[in-house]
Chains A and B, each alone.
Chain A
Amino acid sequence: MDEVNPIVIIGALMYFAVIFWIGWTSRKASLDASDFYVAGRKVGPFVNGSALAATYFSPASFLGLPAFIFIIGYPFWWALVGIIGGMPIATLLTAAPLRKYAPTSFTDYYADRYETKWLRLIAGIPTIIGGFAYVILSIVGTALFMLAILKVNFTVSVILAAVVVFAYIYYGGMVATTLSTAFQGVTMTVAAVIAAIYVIANYGGLNGLTDAVLANNANFFNLPYVNETASHVYVSMWSGVVGFFFTWHFGFSALPYTVVRFFTTQDIKAARRSVFWAVIVGGAMYAGLIIIGTGARVLIETMHPLMETEGITNAVKVLVHMKTEYGVAGATVTDYSMIAAMESLKSPFLLAIITAGGLAIAMATAAGWTMVLNVLLGRDIIGKVFGSKWPEEKPIQCTRMMTTVVLAICTLFSFSPPALVLDISGAAFIVILCSCGPPLIFGIWWGRATKAAAITNILVMTFLSCFSWMYAKTVIGKPHFFFLNKALDLDWVTPHQFYWVFVGLIFFVLLSLVTKPCSDETIQKYSLDLRPEQ
């Protein structure tokens, strides 16, 4: 085992101590099903806002976004702007109406609005695909931090990450998850902001940082059309820049793991205000991540200790060395770029903070998605769809059993992660957004939305988005090009096949126009009555 500075170990231990303390003190707060599923609907705006931010942002943010800025350059900043820019939209689009409706699980809305219990199962398909992917990437993210900074063996790290998340969900349900996640939200933001301050201070200000970045990579700030060489082939067309802006943009409004957090607030007012706090917490963290990603390459190449190793001449070789040393299959070299950049600054205090922030963001997302999946598999599918009395008679026992199943499966997959964390995240977002997003949004805001359109849209868009993403990745080599590029001899950049989100919206509207609407009573109760009173 390599030497680890005691300050870094103390930072990580302090983080785990707080998480265990929250789990322990909140274990008696989950006395009934309502507490366990939706934290008794007692959560205030700030706590919910911080928990929203921590749940929504995952290792894909903390490890992946700086890595993509490292690879792609300045145009990828717009992806981060798109993510934060999508958060306020949720306030009035879904947060307030869904809190008014006050369901227990996100599939309740699909079943009630479209008058069939089978929509729980159908909406569950893309959610299970995306949800499992997210829990896996979150466990992998946690383990990567423990491996690369604390030098804990990867297998041990994966087990440790899964056990900690399992413990506080198992005992505390949504109450423990919300409180620990709120703490994690603050931790990850403080970590990213402190890291950014370190980077900026290292170069004597923003001008110094920019000059250093340009000296290292003259194309970093290049945009398509006005520069001969774009900063990267993924942003060599406007569709690359706009596509990355939209890949994660609508996730906050429509993805199950954030939507369920709107159910936990005290009232509609708190639901709306919690988005405001989530923007403050999340926006500050993203501002930090932009600076870290921007400075990553130059920091590694000028200051990382491994640059003194024979044969290592650039940042990518440093990352290749780290990947080879750690030997985690699936994780790509750039997954280590954020950690390597922080190591370059040679501050044990900074590494301790970053470790706590990295663990926080990863565990919060794993917990958030596990809460979605355990309720979906237990209460919704086993109970409401297949009619078992178990989830109704023993809701906490059933949910705990599902938590065990979900985390056991995800832990097994985490030992050999399938891909770069940000690529898993992008794929999961597009699959769920284009399939489940339109029936949710239009269900609330359009009386004409129909059952047939909801079922067809979810099934067709799940298939198309999964197929096109995998086709682009396997046949073209990257999921960031239009999947028919080869067949049609095109050269289009469409990150993660993002266009399916818009295709899904149009497809749903067209299908709704030619199929039979739901009953007037349903439309009144689950659409018109959920809108603001005029």
Chain B
Amino acid sequence: MFKGMPKIFWIGMLIMYGWCFFFMYLEMTIPGFPLKKFLGVPACYIYNWLLGLWGMNIVVSFLYYYMEEKREAKQK
């Protein structure tokens, strides 16, 4: 099952799920966690809104196509 799937796929999955569930866990164990100040604003705007929603997914989707193109170029 999933034989031949590029390693970068699993690394990307680890980054995305790791990030989301780590912060969900913190939110459900530390009272008021989303509103704790980070970089001058409530932390949830940084780890959820800016990075979890957008930044991290841009990086992961970039890695997915870039690493595959690099691997294919190497093969040729």
Contact = CB atoms under 8 A, between A and B. Distances in A.
B30 to A, nearest CB: 7
A347 to B, nearest CB: 23
Interface in B43-69: 44-45, 48-50, 52-54, 56-58, 60-62, 64-65, 68-69
A85 B16 contact: yes
B53 A280 contact: no
A25 interface: no
A427 interface: no
Interface in A51-103: 74, 77-78, 80-82, 84-85, 87-89, 91-93, 96
Q: Report the interface size class on chain B.
A: 35 or more
6 contacts: A77-B49, A92-B64, A221-B42, A227-B31, A283-B57, A528-B4
Contacts of A147: none
Nearest to B71: A532
A276 B35 contact: no
Nearest to A294: B49
Given A78-B20, A227-B31, A533-B75, A88 B64 contact: yes
Interface string A275-303: 11001100110110011000000000000
B73 to A, nearest CB: 11
B20 A280 contact: no
Given A84-B57, A227-B31, A287-B54, A273 B20 contact: no
B5 A88 contact: no
Contact of B4 (A89, A227, A276, A534): A534
A284 B31 CA distance: 29
Contacts of B56: 85
B16 A88 contact: yes
A286 B53 contact: yes
Nearest to B13: A89
A276 B54 contact: no
Interface of B: 1-6, 8-9, 12-13, 16, 20, 24, 27-35, 40-42, 44-45, 48-50, 52-54, 56-58, 60-62, 64-65, 68-69, 71-72, 75
Contact of B28 (A223, A276, A532, A533): A223
What 6 pairs between A and B have smallest CB-CB spacing? A531-B4, A88-B61, A283-B54, A272-B65, A91-B64, A276-B61
Tell me if B's interface is mostly helix, strand, loop or mixed: helix
Nearest to A241: B24
Contact of B68 (A207, A287, A532): A532
A445 interface: yes
Contact of B58 (A80, A276, A290, A448): A276
A287 B53 contact: yes
A88 B44 contact: no
Contacts of A448: 1
A207 B53 contact: no
A291 to B, nearest CB: 8
B5 A92 contact: yes
A273 B29 contact: no
A219 interface: no
